[in-house]
Amino acid sequence: MAGLNLNDTLRLASIWHSLHAIASQLSPIPGCSGIELLIADAFDLHCFQTLTGTKFLLVVEPGTPEVEDFLKSTVYDLYTDYVLKNPFYEVEMPVRCELFDVNLFQTIGTVHKRWGIFGSQP
């Protein structure tokens, strides 16, 4: 998604949000919150939804380990530290916080090295 402009990113997020909501309503499992993992031939798309409804999406190579833990702990911790504590952030708006971006990209670089994928660049 790095090569997409803001409108394309918002459009994709909107489509995912709709699919996520429909899946939660159609699921035969009581209390289902929606799609958490979409497995395709070329990628896996993981989704973590917070209690406040914010969704984090992560597109990875198939079979990438520890993605759920990475989303639920590391990315969410960065979000709470750098976005939610930012007095200029408005809820329900796209995240535009330089400290969040810098720390997220550093963390992704570290994880890539640990997993041995994509060299050191996110």
Give me the pLDDT at residue 100, please. Answer: 93
**Size of the chain in residues:** 122
Among candidates 44, 43, 69, 11, which has minimal Cα distance to 35?
Answer: 44
Whether 49 and 55 have beta carbons less than 8 Å apart is answered as: yes
Q: Cα separation of 13 and 79, whole Å?
A: 17
Q: Could you give the count of Cα atoms lying within 13 Å of 54 in the half-sphere of its Cβ?
A: 17
pLDDT in tens, 13-43: 888 889 888 988 888 888 888 888 889 898 8
